[in-house]
Amino acid sequence: MIKSGIKYITFILLIIIYLITSCTTITTKTYQVETPLLEEHNSIKIVLISDLHSTIYGKNQNILINKVKDINPDLIILSGDIFDDVVPMTGTRLFLSGILGIAPIFFVTGNHEYMSRNILKIREELASFGVIILSDNYTKIEIKNIEIIIAGIEDPYKKKFEAPRYNQNDSMERAFRELDEIKLYKILIAHRPEMIEKYIKYSFDLILSGHTHGGQIIIPNILNGLYAPNQGFFPKYAGGIYTHGNITHVISRGLSINPILPRIFNPPELVVVIIESN
């Protein structure tokens, strides 16, 4: 009787240890996307970082930085909530310092950058590390002799915390409608995936998002996510790869670790997107 009780307690402890360790260790998820807009045998490798919330991995952020270096990306995309409204900036500063010079870095705001009520300081921090901030605009960039378009939109909290007259719909229309006439591969960075119906009105080929934290709890092969911000329970867009006609939508499950909101079967995620010619 005592032995069976010890075995049961040991089993429960092993399950708890597994859940804690597996859901605080970074995993790398790779998605391959094909397009006729790249010449044969060409490819672009993107690292997507989302929802870091200034979480620190290892001494001086070395675990996360080394993972990015090992991937050797052509582009680094920061799709919002890299900073936090409660956690100090230290983890984000360490990360930005460590990835400086690896590849061009592009950033869009998430809700927590605005919730910090410190958006001007955040923009200064990003600029000091050479990060390109996309704010309802786009830029043309050449990667390995391939010209592509990278666009980004502000988080809707811009209206709540910075610019009361901000209208995201009007701003997107002014910025992106002209892209219909440009025959290059086009990437949109947009923090919130649940607003996908807005994004697919424009001629983007790839959309990169975060925000969901993977739905917090996953049951493999059964439940892709239990709860996500702005989507509620059983979110349609918890994390992974989705298609909307000719548009591919990749949603990162994010990198934050919050003891109050534990991740179960849902480890923090570093996303790699490889765009290849077909």
What DSSP letter does each residue of 124-180 carry, written as one string?
A: HHHHHTTPEEPSSEEEEEEETTEEEEEEE---THHHHHT-TT--HHHHHHHHHGGGG
Cβ neighbours around 274 below 10 Å, total: 15
**pLDDT per position as a tens digit, 136-185:** 999 999 999 999 999 999 999 999 999 999 999 999 999 999 999 999 99
CA nearest to 108, candidates 149, 152, 141: 152
**pLDDT per position as a tens digit, 29-59:** 999 999 999 988 899 999 999 999 999 999 9
Q: 9 or 74: which carries more pLDDT confidence? A: 74
Asked if residue 200 lies in contact with residue 153, where contact means CB atoms within 8 angstroms, the answer is no
* Kind and range of the H or E run holding 227: strand 227-228
Q: Could you tell me the pTM of the whole model?
A: 0.92
Token pair, residue 145, equals: 């002799």
**Superfamily, domain 27-277:** Metallo-dependent phosphatases (3.60.21.10)
- Residue % of the chain over a pLDDT of 90: 87
Q: What is the pLDDT, as a whole number, of residue 121?
A: 97
pLDDT band at 5 (very low <50, low <70, confident <90, very high): low
Residue ranges of the domains in the chain?
27-277
Q: What is the pLDDT, as a whole number, of residue 261?
A: 82
Q: Which residues contact 130 (CB under 8 A, 6 or more apart)?
A: 100, 105
Return phi, psi of residue 108, to 5°. -130, 155
Report how far apart the first and last C-alpha atoms of the chain are (Å, whole number): 63
Asked if residue 78 lies in contact with residue 92, where contact means CB atoms within 8 angstroms, the answer is no
Cβ neighbours around 100 below 10 Å, total: 14
